[in-house]
Amino acid sequence: MRDILSQGGDREPGPWPRRVAAIAGLVLVAAVIVWQLPRHRQPTPHPRATVTVAPLPPAASGDHSGAGLPGGVSGQAMPADSSLRLPVTGQQPGWLRPATGRITAIGGLPAERLGYQFTHMAGGWAVQANSAVTLRCSSCAGPPTPVYFLAGRAQSVTRAGTANVVAPGAAAHSLWLTSYPPGADMRTAAGTAQEVSVVGRPPGRQLRLPAGYVIDRGTDRGLLLAPAVPSGMTADRLWNPADPQTSRTFDGVVAASASRIAWVTRCAALCRVHVLDLATGRPTVVRLPGASSVVNAAFSPDGKFLALQVSSGSQGDDGALAMQLDVASMASGRVVAVPGTSVSSDALVSFGWQADHDDLVAELSFMTKVQVTSWRPGARELTVAVIQPGPQTASLIVG
């Protein structure tokens, strides 16, 4: 999660929490089901935008701002020496530098016909192949598959283990791997989870999860669990394996990190986002106008900010809801709008924070182009790069 960018998304990814799987050119017979964990914090209002896998020619970097062009947001052109780079999923994932359009391969991942899903975590991503297996039900678990770890600046992955479901741990470079007996119905089955370190420490002890739940992420006060198959009726659950009786439930969770949980309540005169600091028990309330509602959210890596995807309730020319990115300070609860990000809901594809930096990155898709924007709290405008859609496609991992 979505950290989430994790959210823009803990989208998760993803909820990326925040975490998104990209499947290109998928045509399967009805008896074949692609199993992928639902990312309940990552809204998918429309298909993800696509970008060229081949490097863009130098001429494409002439006007990256998009200023004055139809269908797009404006800002300063992203400098060619920008350090921003994003993973790109597909049969053979790679690193994309939005400022130049150049892509370099990520080593250690075998070619996968159905592509890979990325789960954002502190310091990088957990990477797992999508798989197609014939199952007796859409919620049934397939065989566990390899899980890899990709550090934020690494050229290749390292293998972390195998699992049906992967989630970030509370500590940096730790993962929770959950497995089920092949064919088990995850709506009612109890998974077996184990925390592993991607830097060589011995794995922790195995835990048996409550039936019907999967781990959304590890926290400093236990495991945040989500329904294995979201129904809209079951709340998330903060569960302490050592003392299950102290569990607490949360309705409307939009973001979570190792130290905080954010959730929304019904809007009246004001819309409120509640944030709980798990270490201190201190609550923070973020207030928004009553006509607004929060669709998704993501904590910054240092925990100082909460990015909010806000729906204003009004409609654009195409009939879609108007969306905007706001950022709330966790110290004061004060909310500021991210400049230039008021777009229709079908244009804002995903957003998330850069690992180890308080830079908020968003992907926007328009009729003629895909844009990647970057903004640091306090800046007056966005930096913008334009990526032209192409026939060889894959999806960006922003959160």
The mean per-residue pLDDT over the stretch 342-360 comes to: 86
Domains and CATH numbers, the chain: 12-394 (2.130.10.120)
Say how far apart CA 70 and CA 62 lie, in whole Å: 17
Of 347, 349, 328, 337, which Cα lies nearest the Cα of 396? 349
**Separation between Cα atoms, residue 168 and residue 219, nearest integer Å:** 9
Residues 6+ apart with CB under 8 A from 74: 65, 66, 67, 68, 340, 381, 382, 384
pLDDT tens digits along 183-234:
999 999 999 999 999 887 778 889 999 999 999 999 999 999 999 988 766 7
Does position 346 have pLDDT exceeding 80, yes or no? yes
As a whole number, mean pLDDT of residues 99-117 equals 92
Distance between CA atoms of 362 and 296, rounded to whole angstroms? 13
Q: What is the CA angle 86-87-88, rounded to 5?
A: 115
Q: What is the mean pLDDT of residues 126-133?
A: 86
What does the mean pLDDT of the chain come to?
Answer: 79
* Tokens, residue 385: 């790069």
pLDDT at 261: 97
Q: Write phi, then psi, for 61 (nearest 5 degrees).
A: -90, 10
Backbone dihedral angles phi then psi of residue 246, each to the nearest 5 degrees: -90, 10
Residue identified by tokens 């993973």 is 87
Per-residue CA distances from 112 to 89, 109, 116, 140, 147 (Å): 10, 8, 7, 22, 13
What residues contact 132, with CB distance under 8 A and at least 6 apart? 28, 32, 33, 34, 35, 114
pLDDT per position as a tens digit, 277-309: 999 999 999 998 776 889 899 999 999 999 999
Give the separation between CA 347 and CA 351, rounded to whole angstroms: 12
For residue 389, the model assigns a pLDDT of 64
Residue with more model confidence, 26 or 210? 210
The percentage of the chain sitting over the pLDDT mark of 90, rounded to a whole number, equals 52
Give me the pLDDT at residue 319, please.
Answer: 61
Q: Find out whether 3 and 301 touch, Cβ atoms under 8 Å.
A: yes
What is the predicted pLDDT for the residue at 65?
A: 46
Q: Give the confidence band of 135 by pLDDT, cuts at 50, 70, 90.
A: confident
Q: What is the pLDDT of residues 150-184, one digit of tens each?
A: 998 899 999 999 999 999 999 988 999 999 998 99
The pLDDT value given to residue 245: 79
Q: What is the arithmetic mean of pLDDT over 346-367?
A: 88
DSSP string of 77-134, one letter each residue:
EPPTT----EEE-SSS-EEEETTTTEEEEPBT----TT-EEEEEETTEEEEEE-EEE-
For residue 368, name the pLDDT band (cuts at 50, 70, 90). confident
d(CA 192, CA 363): 35
pLDDT at 137: 84
**Token representation of residue 57:** 């020619």
For 197-247, give the DSSP string.
ETTSPPP--EEEPPTTEEEEEEETTEEEEEESS--SSS-EEEE-TT-GGG-
CB 326 within 8 A of CB 319: no
